[in-house]
Each structure stands twice: as C-alpha cells, then as structure tokens.
C-alpha cells in the first residue's frame, strides 16, 4: 500500500491524470507481462513498469503500485454498481475492502475484507486504516459524505465520489458538459434536500476535503444486469415479448444511459491512472434516438414486434409521465431540452468506453429472464400490457 501520494496538483474540476500513458488494454497487457516476467524469474521489467511517460507527472512509485494492485475501499459495494466494480477490480489484481451495514447481499464476495458500520453515524471500523483509493457509491447527503471525507482525506490518495446527472437541474445549457450549472437556481441551498441537489452539496464536501484531488463521476441512468430499477430492462423485456409496442414521444428523442460494466471499468481505469476531475459518464458514445434504441434492441430478438410512437402530451393527459410510467428518457423541451444530450467527451478522453447496445440489451434480458424464472417477479416500471393496449387504441381513434 502507498503511504504517500505524488503531489502534482490538478485543476479543481478539469481532468488530470498521473500515471503512464497506457490504454486500459495496455494495463492488462503490461500487468500480464510483469506477472509473466516474474513467473519466469527473468527480472525484466514490463514496459511502463518503472519509468512514467514523459511529462505525465507520474512517479515511478505510482506506476509500480498500479502493477502491484491497489488497495481499494468501497463505501457500499453490495447493491447494483458495487458488485460490478468489485468483480472488475479483483479481476485486475486489486485488493478490495467493503464498508457497509452488513444488511444487503451479505453472501457476496466471501473472499474480500468486510467492515461493518453506518455512514450516517458510525465510521469507527475505518479509523486508523489507509487505502490507495476509496470509491464512495453510497453517499447521498452532504452530512454522510462530509463524515467520510473528513475521516478519509488523510487516509487515501484518491476518493471517487459517485454523483449523478441529476446534479444538473436545468438542462437548457447549449453544451451540457461538466461546467453546466448545477443545483436548483430557484431554491435557497437550505432547501436542497431532494436527490440531485443533495448530491450537489455532497460533491462540494468532496471538493472541500480533497481539493485538486477531487474525483467525481456523474452517471445518467445506470443499466444492465442487476439493475433493480428496471428503467432500461423494461425495453428488452417488452420488445422480446413482441406485438405492437407503445413508444413514448418522438422517434428522434435523444436517449442516454450507461452500462454498469462500462461504468465499473471506467472507475478502475481512473484509479489505476490516478486521474482527478469531474466526469459525465454518459453513453452511448454517439447520439442515440429513441427509434435507434428500440430498433437496436429489436435486433436481439426474433419475436415479431412493431412500434407505435405516441405523443408525450397525449400520454401526460392520461397520467402517464416520463421517468415514472414511461421509462427512461424525457421529452427534449422546456428545462429538459438537452437532458438527453449530456456531453461525455471529457470522460471519453479519460478512457470511458461503451459496450454495444446489443450486448447491454441481450445480457440484461438474459439476467431478467433468469430472475423471472425464480418466480413471482414483476417489472418495477413501464406500462402494463392492458393499459398499453388501451392507450394505443385511444391514440389510433384520435388520428
Ligand atoms: N441507479 C442509477 O441509475 C444511478 C444513476 C446515477 C447515479 N447513481 C448513484 O449510484 C449510487 C448507488 O449505487 P449502488 O447502490 O449500486 O452502490 P453499491 O456500491 O452497490 O452500494 C450499495 C450498498 O451501500 C450500503 N449502504 C447503504 N446505506 C448505507 C449506510 N448508511 N451506511 C453504510 N452502508 C450503506 C448498502 O449495504 P447495506 O444495506 O449492507 O448497508 C448497499 O448494498 C448512488 O450514489 C446513486 O446516486 C445511480
């Protein structure tokens, strides 16, 4: 484990990377080469294992430690994102400690260290310890995050805070990059208690504690196997069931999401490279319309299916609202004008990559079918079939 960090200061919100100029694949290859060299007793250093790339600011220590594997603490780790991060980190040769209340999915990861506490008021299990990096997935309020930041700011080199796209409450900026306004301008901060605004204040606690070492990731809807919200899962399931399928809004409505595996890989990539900054981790890599989404998903099934686009206002008049009954995009107008056009170019430059939609859709569907086979399961969101048929019938009469 590292006992001190390299001291290059990064800009507060802009990205900075200390570490060798390796790609993610390069790291695996080099780790493999290093392991191979060690196994052969050649003593030969793998490329990149000693000297940092010129001008990268990386210390030899950080490169060597990356190849030894990092000691990573995850605040959370047993919900949706956490297990994917743990699996990927372990596969990359890192060592994991989990901190949670010991209530959820306690059967997971018997091989990793588990510390029990409550981030609302009991962090004693973390006292006197040190990690190379911390991933904070379970911080929702400034109070929670303030407690963990205060305790850990001197106990870790990096603190990756999982924030959210919901920090942007006004999506009308022409460019929705990381510098777009955050927090509700029409409310005093004392009333920033809803999910997105509370995350803004939590981000601030991270910045106050970690300064130039701040690392914040802002995902949109996170999708894939294990997603308990079903907002994306609804679509592969509905399309695989076949028949005439209601799709809300317009064919051109923009849709964004991130596969949880892409997010997990990005997290570990950021830690391996000691990257700092604030990142929108929003996929896919190129604009995707709702028509491309549903036709893309159709490509993974042979069930006969057709699509009928139904006007947002018609649906709203019947009590069917975006993000509630109608997952998981917004009509691109009013304060949600550019909700589906968040700019991820900074994250892409820092190494965020995206699985193809077909892979996300197929593997999410397979995961859903296997949980369904366990019995007694119904989707948590999306139109029920009877209501969908009724809405479609009414929509056609009016046309
Ligand atoms: N899902 C999305 O679409 C989406 C989109 C954007 C951002 N996000 C962000 O993603 C994060 C959620 O990720 P996740 O739940 O999948 O993370 P995770 O790493 O899987 O962690 C979840 C675990 O945190 C533990 N936990 C909850 N409250 C705790 C507390 N008071 N003290 C200690 N441990 C606690 C729970 O275990 P115990 O019950 O055992 O304590 C839970 O299993 C949030 O920060 C959320 O804002 C999600």
Q: Which of 76, 126, 227, 328 to mutate to test the pocket of ligand 1 (most atoms within 8 A of CB)?
A: 76
Ligand 1 center–CA 175 separation, angstroms: 29
CA gyration radius, the chain: 22
Protein residue with its CA nearest to atom 33 in ligand 1: 100
Ligand 1 contacts CB of residue 255 (under 6 A): no
Closest CA to 347 of 256, 261, 283, 271: 283
| Cα separation, 320 vs 326, whole angstroms | 7
How far does the centroid of ligand 1 lie from the alpha carbon of residue 90, in Å?
Answer: 19
- Where does residue 54 rank: exposed (0-12), middle (13-18), buried (19+ CB within 10 A)? exposed
Please report where in the chains the tokens 């220590």 appear, as a residue.
61
- Looking from the CA of residue 103, the nearest atom of ligand 1 is 40
Residues 367-388: tens digit of each pLDDT? 999 999 988 788 999 999 999 9
Ligand 1 pocket residue status of 322, Cβ below 6 Å: no
Ligand 1 site, residue 221, Cβ cutoff 6 A: yes
- State in Å: Cα 79 to ligand 1 middle: 6
**Is ligand 1 within 6 A of the CB of residue 82?**
yes
Q: What distance in angstroms lies between residue 81's CA and the mean position of ligand 1's atoms? A: 8
Distance 6 CA to ligand 1 centre (A): 30
Q: If 0-12 CB within 10 Å is exposed, 13-18 middle and 19+ buried, where does residue 267 land? A: buried
**Whether the CB of 118 sits within 6 Å of ligand 1:** yes
Q: Name the fold adopted by 16-222+259-280.
A: Rossmann fold (3.40.50)
Q: What pLDDT sits at residue 18?
A: 58
pLDDT in tens, 230-279: 999 999 999 999 999 999 999 999 999 999 999 999 999 999 999 999 99
Long-range contacts of 2-6 (CB under 8 A, 24+ apart): 2/61, 2/62, 2/65, 2/132, 2/157, 3/130, 5/157, 5/213, 6/57, 6/58, 6/59, 6/61, 6/62, 6/274
Residues of the chain with pLDDT under 50: 1-12, 19-65
pLDDT number for residue 217: 99
- Ligand 1 mean position, distance from CA 226 (Å): 13
Paired tokens of 323: 């993000």
Quote the CA–CA distance of 278 and 16 in Å, as a whole number: 10
pLDDT of res. 271:
98
Total Cβ atoms within 10 A of residue 195:
11
Q: Does the beta carbon of 79 lie inside 6 Å of ligand 1?
A: yes
Q: State both tokens at 136.
A: 């904070």
Task: Tell me how far CA of residue 260 lies from CA of 84, 103, 224, 264, in angstroms.
Answer: 7, 22, 6, 6
Q: Find out whether the beta carbon of 276 lies less than 6 Å from any atom of ligand 1.
A: no
295 SS3 class:
helix
Domain spans in the chain, listed from the N-terminal domain onward = 16-222+259-280, 234-254+287-344+356-397
For ligand 1, the distance from its centroid to the CA atom of residue 137, given in whole angstroms, is 5
Q: Residue 381 CB: number of other CB atoms within 10 A?
A: 16
Please confirm whether the linkage preceding 390 is cis (ω < 30° from 0). Answer: no
Rounded to the nearest angstrom, the distance between the alpha carbon of 217 and the centre of ligand 1 is 14
- The answer to whether the CB of 102 is under 6 A from ligand 1 is yes
CB 100 less than 6 A from any atom of ligand 1: yes
**C-alpha neighbours within 13 Å on the C-beta side of residue 84:** 18
CB 358 within 8 A of CB 282: no
pTM of structure: 0.88
Distance 141 CA to ligand 1 centre (A): 12
b/e 196-234 (16+ beta carbons within 10 angstroms → b): bbbbbbbbbbbbebbebbbbbbbbbbbbbbbbebbbbbb
């Amino acid at each position: 484990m590292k006992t001190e960090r390299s001291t290059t200061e990064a800009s507060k919100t802009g990205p900075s990377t200390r570490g060798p100029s390796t790609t993610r694949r390069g790291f695996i290859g080099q780790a493999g080469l290093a392991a191979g060299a060690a196994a052969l007793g050649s003593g030969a250093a793998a490329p990149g294992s000693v000297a940092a790339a010129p001008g990268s600011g990386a210390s030899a220590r950080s490169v060597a430690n990356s190849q030894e594997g990092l000691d990573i603490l995850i605040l959370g780790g047993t919900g949706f994102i956490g297990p994917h991060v743990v699996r990927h980190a372990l596969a990359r040769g890192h060592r994991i400690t989990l901190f949670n209340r010991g209530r959820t999915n306690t059967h997971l990861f018997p091989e990793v260290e588990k510390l029990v506490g409550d981030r609302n008021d009991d962090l004693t299990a973390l006292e006197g310890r040190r990690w190379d990096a911390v991933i904070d997935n379970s911080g929702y309020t400034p109070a929670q995050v303030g407690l963990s930041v205060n305790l850990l700011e001197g106990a870790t080199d990096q603190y990756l805070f999982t924030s959210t796209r919901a920090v942007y409450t006004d999506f009308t900026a022409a460019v929705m990059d990381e510098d777009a306004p955050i927090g509700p301008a029409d409310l005093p901060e004392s009333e920033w208690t809803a999910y997105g605004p509370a995350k803004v204040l939590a981000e601030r606690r991270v910045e106050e504690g970690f300064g130039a070492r701040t690392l914040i990731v802002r995902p949109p809807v996170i999708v894939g196997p294990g997603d308990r919200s079903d907002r994306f899962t609804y679509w592969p399931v509905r399309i695989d069931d076949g028949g005439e399928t209601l799709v809300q809004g317009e064919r051109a409505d923009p849709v964004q999401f991130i596969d949880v595996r892409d997010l997990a890989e990005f997290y570990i990539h950021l830690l391996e490279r000691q990257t700092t900054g604030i990142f929108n981790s929003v996929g896919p890599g190129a604009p995707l319309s709702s028509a491309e989404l549903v036709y893309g998903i159709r490509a993974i099934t042979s069930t006969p299916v057709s699509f009928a686009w139904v006007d947002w206002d018609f649906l709203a008049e019947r009590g069917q609202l975006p993000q509630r009954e109608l997952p998981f995009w917004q009509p691109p107008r009013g304060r949600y004008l550019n909700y589906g056009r968040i700019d991820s170019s900074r994250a892409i430059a820092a190494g965020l990559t995206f699985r193809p939609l077909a892979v996300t859709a197929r593997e999410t569907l397979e995961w859903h079918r296997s949980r369904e086979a366990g019995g007694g399961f119904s989707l948590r969101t999306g139109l029920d079939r009877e209501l969908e048929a009724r809405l479609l019938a009414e929509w056609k009469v009016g046309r």
